[in-house]
A = this chain, B = another copy of it.
Amino acid sequence: MSRGLNREVSMLSQVASSELHAHFRPHQFLAREDEKPVAIFRIDEGWACRYRLLPDGRRQITALYLPGDYCDPHWALGGKPSQPIVALTNVRATRLPCVPPSATSGEGQQAFWRSLSDMIERQTNWLVTLGRKTALEKVAHLLLELFERLRMSGLTYGQQCAMPLTQMEIADLTGLTPVHVNRTLQVMRTRGLVELQAKWLRIPDLRALRQAAALRTQGMAA
C-alpha cells in the first residue's frame, strides 16, 4: 500500500453509486467540504485524512483514517462534511449507507458507535498534544498512535509497521513545520526512539516511546 503506484486507466474517482466498493489514488477526495451527505466509507486498505486549510495556506490535518476506520462516523449524527477528506495513499473503501442514529441497532452498529467514540477520544488527546506538548512529544504521540492503531488491525509486523506519510504530512498532523519535523526525527533516531526509513517505522522500545510522548500518567521527577 505504501508505494504501489498502481497506474489505473480510469480517471474516475469513484465507481457507480450502486457499487459497494470504491478506490482512490493519492490526493483524490473521498469527500469535499460542505458537500451533500454522501455515503460513509469504511477504509479497507490505505490511508486517508481529513484536514482544514487556512486562507494563507496553513494546513492542519484533523483526522487520520486507517484500515478499518469509518470515514467519517460523525456524519451519522446529522452533520455534513465540514472538512475535505483526501486519500494519502491508494485507498480501497466500502461505501456504507448513512444511517440516522435513532434507526440503528445490532452488531455492526455497536462497532460503529465504538468507532465514533474512539475517534472522539483520539481527537481529545490531540487537543492536549497540540496545545501543550513539545515538538518531540508531538511526533512521538503520532508515531505511537499510528503503530498502536495498526497493531489493533493486525497490520504490524513485530516492532514494525508501514509509515507512508511524508515529513510534510507529519508536520500538518503535528502542527509543526516540515523542517522542524525533520530535525525532531533526527533527534528521535539518535536517541534510539524510532527507526524510520523507506516508509517503514520500527519502534525498538515501545515503553520509551510512550514515555517520550507524555501521553497518560507516567512517573516523573517530583
Binding site for B on A (CB under 8 A): 1, 52, 54-56, 58-60, 62-63, 74, 77-79, 82-83, 101-102, 104-105, 109, 113-114, 116-117, 120-121, 123-124, 126-128, 130-133, 174-175, 214, 216-220
Instruction: Give A10 Cβ to nearest chain B Cβ, in Å.
Output: 18
Task: Pick 23 A–B contacts, CB within 8 A, sort by A.
Answer: A1-B132, A52-B124, A54-B133, A55-B214, A55-B218, A56-B220, A60-B127, A60-B128, A62-B127, A77-B114, A77-B116, A77-B117, A78-B113, A79-B117, A79-B120, A82-B124, A101-B104, A101-B113, A123-B123, A126-B127, A130-B130, A130-B175, A131-B175
* Docked-complex contact B132 and A59, CB < 8 angstroms: yes
Q: Chain copies in the assembly?
A: 2
What is the bound-complex CA distance between A26 and B62, given in angstroms? 32
Give the Cβ gap from A73 to chain B, nearest Cβ, in Å. Answer: 9
Partner of A102, one of B60, B109, B219: B109
A62 to B58, CA, bound (A): 22
Chain B residue with minimal CB distance to A126?
A: B127
CB of A132 to closest CB in B, whole Å: 5
What B residues does A123 contact at CB under 8 A? 120, 123-124, 127
Closest 9 CB pairs of A and B: A131-B175, A130-B130, A77-B117, A60-B131, A102-B105, A55-B220, A60-B128, A58-B132, A60-B132
Q: Are A217 and B55 within 8 A (Cβ)?
A: yes
B-side contacts of A218, CB under 8 Å = 55
**CB-nearest residue of chain B to A2:** B132
